[in-house]
Structure 1
């Protein structure tokens, strides 16, 4: 008997190095100069190039987006017992740094219009907790939150705003890069993000003094002294020169990656958008997403598990929408403000494979498999 043919694995979103080999040029430079670690030209230039790309005055290259959120909270003065508003529909990396600072999260619901933080729920939360210290905003799956309304609400209260743009690098709200509206913005270069350094993150801000302070904290808060002296608690959060070299090369192909992500989304929408009970993630007129993941929700009798299982049989990776933080065992004791939109998105949501290396043939494998559920 012959062997059964197994289709190649289609990933949700895997690393995609440039065809031009930009990354290796910078990595080789780090090797040739022997500036492997701790810092070096690549780190400095990656900070400068990323800041220039998004339109921020300064940036700090760090080991992860999580580290960037942590230092943003610290820079915003968040400490023990302080309240921080956080969208509930997100990955735990958004909420965990609140706990690092011994602060108290209050989780805010999403709305159907953006799938991101609901401005009405945010207003309600401010009435309940007027003493809030900071607000974290997430741009889920590359979709922009309604930053106009969010900033209007937060500016009235003079509260620090931290944008978790881990998933939205290359996306815009009304022509301005996401991650640049608040006091601080963070980006992630994890292996599944639109560009990757294998692992890493960036903190951006127009407050150059705060960024300088973040770099200081990230290098173990080592004082300017001939000997090792530390007057503040420090962290080992600085990006290495080799990793930053990968980032510099990846930054050169960011627009190509956004273009391909959009192509994937439009392919899915064209092929699956007419199916009964299928609604794709919302793209507003003021939003230019990076389409990091193509997500949809089911409103009919078919359930996400049916899609997950059908795709897995074809060796295709897919995922549920994030499980809200207020439903997580670790965070469920903290307050939640909203009406349950985020929970419904979790229950009904599907993230389809959005890998920028996918061919049309592979995209068709995905859509044919999904359509087969409606035809069976």
Structure 2
């Protein structure tokens, strides 16, 4: 893992900035900016104020005074590690996802690893996943002893293409599970993927690390498969500083995951020295849990602000020669990223930079083309949709802290780029 930049400066008002660059947590990314803008509350798009340094940042996580007070309360209690605050956060997040159980972890990657261990992935077993994602989704499979197998993506949604998945399953008989990635805030085609899983007797583990609150026909990510994993890295739709969580309706999976993240202890014997299985210390701290509870309360407002910003871009960029995000009927996108596509990607990014707008390329190298994956069995596969996306995607700032001026700056920069050609 690379180190992340951090920015702990606070403004003179009520909000506090947290980490700037994303390097972990399931589907994650590195922020190309040097720093983060100070943010007001979610919904600041009604304001005409811009960011402090006139740079429109790609991400601007923030914490309210209430979150800081909750952390102070935890510090005063002296119970800093895993404890009642984490249990309450687990219950509240499970309720939010309409799942029966949740197990909090130290980050999104450990959530994925613990979930795969709980699902019983054994050495050498194949798990089919997306090549167009942050590397942690595939890494977790390898860390659990499994073997990642890649299928191509839908070029419009950037999520696993069920037809490509079906083709791989027809060729292989060693796949034990599917790990679809809900990318950029949009859920994968879970109806078809679940049908394929049922047909081939596979488990389905959602990588929902970028999709807190995403929905399909009113059902939320986190309750669409056998289990799901979320990341709470600072630039995600909600944060705990660092953190992750596993959600599931299955008590057996929740108990095994809870044991695995706590040194293999029996889930009902939290502090005992009886270790019934191999495990790690992947626990969430009480401080992170306290932040998560406050952030969860604000998540609906955060997501609505992101959706309003995305709608503004959709309208303003309708006549610009770029592909804006596709949202299938019945899906609710929560815009962890607002990702456009253009063959002129690098030049457009340079123009935006000249206008003081940060952008991100998520992801410039598909996983199967990463050096760490040269020896993986499907590394040599040709996955044209994923490879094409890697050459053309560009993410624009969409976070809740954008002001009206910020949004105009982004749009005008894009328009100026194409009008000047």
Same fold (TM over 0.5): yes
The question of whether the paired residues in 1 share the 8 Å contact of 2:153 and 2:386 is answered with yes
Structure 2, unmatched stretches of 5+, are: 1-51
- Does residue 355 of structure 1 match 2:399? yes
In structure 2, distance between residues paired with 1:185 and 1:315: 37
Q: Kindly state the Cα deviation for residue 315 of structure 1 after the two structures are TM-superposed.
A: 3.2
Deviations 1:173-229 (A, max 9, x none): 111001211111011100110001111000011112321221111111246599745
Matched, 1:331 2:376: no
Given that 2:176 and 2:201 are in contact with CA atoms closer than 8 Å, whether structure 1 keeps it comes out as no
What root-mean-square deviation, in Å, do the aligned CA atoms of Structure 1 and Structure 2 show?
Answer: 1.9
The 3 A distance-change label for structure 1 pair 225 and 116 is closer
- Alpha carbons 1:16, 1:195 under 8 Å: kept: no
Partner residue of 1:316?
357
Unaligned runs of 5+ in 1: 1-5
1:9 and 2:51 matched: no
CA distance in 1, matches of 2:213, 2:256: 26
Contact 1:7 1:315 in 2 (8 A): no
Conserved 8 A contact 1:304-1:320: no
The 2-side partners of 1:216 and 1:26 are apart by: 27
Q: Structure 2 CA distance, aligned partners of 1:268 and 1:225?
A: 48
The residue number in structure 2 matching 1:205 is 248
What does residue range 1-376 of structure 1 map to in structure 2 within 5 Å?
A: 7-18=53-64, 21-37=65-81, 39-222=82-265, 228-276=273-321, 278-299=322-343, 303-322=344-363, 323-334=365-376, 335=378, 339-376=383-420
TM-score, normalised to structure 2, is 0.83
What's the TM-score once normalised by structure 1's chain length? 0.92
Q: Quick one: distance in 2 between partners of 1:134 and 1:338?
A: 21
Secondary structure of residue in 2 paired with 1:235? coil
Change (3 A) 1:33 1:372: same
1:83: Cα distance to partner? 0.6
Q: Shift of the alpha carbon at 1:372?
A: 1.1
Q: How far apart are the structure 1 equivalents of 2:77 and 2:85?
A: 11
Q: How far 1:268 moved relative to its partner?
A: 1.3
**How much does 1:77 deviate?**
1.0
Say whether the 8 Å CA contact 1:116–1:138 is kept in structure 2.
yes
Q: Distance in 1 between matches of 2:314 and 2:124?
A: 45
* Aligned partner of residue 181 in structure 1, secondary structure: coil
Rate the CA distance shift 1:23–1:82 in 2: closer, same or farther, 3 A: same
Distance 1:240 1:225, change over 3 A: closer
**Count of aligned pairs:** 364
Offset at residue 231 of structure 1 (A): 4.3
Cα distance in 2 for residues equivalent to 1:81 and 1:331: 15
Query: Does the CA contact (< 8 Å) of 2:151 and 2:383 recur in 1?
Result: no
Equivalence for 2:45: none
